Amino acid sequence: MSQQIPVKNVTPPAGETIDLYASREKIHTRAFSGFYRNLRRAGGALLFVLYFGTVWLNWDGHQAVWWNLPERKFHIFGATYWPQDFVLLSALLIIAAFGLFFITVFAGRVWCGYTCPQSVFTWIFMWAEKVTEGDRNQRMKLEKAPMSANKFARRFAKHSIWLGVSLVTALTFVGYFAPIRELLAELVTFDASGWALFWIAFFTLATYGNAGWLREQVCIHMCPYARFQSVMFDQDTLIVSYDPRRGETRGPRKKTADHKAQGLGDCIDCTLCVQVCPTGIDIRDGLQIECIGCAACIDACDAVMDKMNYPRGLISYTTEHNLSGQKTRLLRPRLIGYAIALLAMLAVFAWAVSNRSLVELDVLKDRVLYRENELGRIENVYTLKIMNKAQQDVVYRIDADGLDGLVYEGRREVRALAGEVLAIPVELSIDAEKLPSSTNEVTFHIRATDDDSIHNDASSRFIGPSVR
């Protein structure tokens, strides 16, 4: 006799609608301490020093890191980059992507938990909540309480700190594009440009909204990294996980009780791991897309294990292979492949930066194919576009070759100011009988007179009459 799967009719009665939208439950995190919290705070402090401090450094008379968009100059610690160098920026972004792939395969979402700006600023904003509205239980009571003078004052103080942090963050970010000292002076004297005010307001509201209001919603629903990370995980990837073999069965017990005799595991079901989680998940339910790998649950659980005199590590950084009793493989093909690709790209990038030419040379040939000059020689006219990418004035010498008997006519030496672009007209001529063909390649050379390392070459065509 064949068995049939029972079918249940779940069609709602006529006229009744089912709301599939679940309203957001606000997360109130509990205060905690521990090794990973201290590690995250140290890393966040370093990132804050780099972000807020670098903008105030000077180098060679101007801001050390300054993206000067109006003049299309990008100053980075003594080096000046131009739009022509943006291939280096593209390469840097690709390297950063491969670096993220490598660290994800190796250690999961540690980027999210420790260095992602969304996470870092969210922790700062949660600290502001704690100092103004109290600990987790006090905040939950305040949330449900009707509006009062006390509630209004606490909320006002919290949002004031949020807006203050957001404003300083926005000012610093805009300060990388408009020199920070001049920007602050212009704001004080009400001389700041409309664009500067717009971007300051925009990034203030963006930081305030993301870290203050959206928080975990950005990590869960908006961040694309949360979606493609599962493709990069394998069973040897380091993840934050709960050990069910050791923790189950859960349940409360006295500290002095023999919980093994009671059939209980090490988990006392205190739910502290849930209360400290910034995305509100229960890590005991297994690996979840919402987990950002911040290890807050590890710190909370280790503190409980210490109080119960149990070994630490009920929740820990581990791997799926380790949880199932198998050996974790540190070196595997995908991780090695990413490492090799990353090292190769870093080497090529370092070579490209160190060998970047400080002079740009472009050759534009005149639309007139050729002409015969007063000496009866075939002549072609060109315009040389010379860009001085160095931070000092440079005198260049210009030459051309590629054909026997080629004569260069024009300025041999030119002086270009720092960052200046020159247009230099030159002529090349040759006796008609010395032309090997009607179309020939010639090469222009430009070299600094006092520094042989500053040079560049560019090729063009020399056109002549048909050769029979």
For the chain, domains (ranges, CATH) are 234-323 (no CATH), 359-463 (2.60.40.10)
Please answer whether residues 116 and 108 qualify as being in contact, where contact means their C-beta atoms are separated by less than 8 angstroms: no
Structure tokens at 34: 């521990």
C-alpha 241/C-alpha 293 separation (Å) is 9
Res 2: pLDDT:
52
Res 82: pLDDT:
87
Res 111: pLDDT:
92
Global confidence as pTM: 0.84
Alpha helices in 309-446 (DSSP H): 320-323, 333-354
- Residues in the chain with pLDDT < 50? 1
Res 149: pLDDT:
97
Structure tokens at 295: 């290890």
User: 200-220 burial, b if ≥16 CB within 10 A, otherwise e?
Assistant: beebbeebbebbbebbbebbb
Res 189: pLDDT:
95
Residue 341 sits at φ, ψ, to 5 deg, of: -60, -40
Sequence-distant contacts of 246-250: CB under 8 A, at least 24 apart:
246/314, 247/284, 247/314, 250/284
- In 236-297, beta strands by DSSP E: 239-242
Sequence-distant contacts of 176-180: CB under 8 A, at least 24 apart:
176/55, 176/65, 176/66, 176/67, 177/66, 177/67, 177/68, 177/69, 179/62, 179/63, 179/66, 180/55, 180/56, 180/63
Amino acid at 243: D
pLDDT digits (tens, 9 = 90+) for 279-317: 999 999 998 889 999 999 999 999 999 999 999 999 999
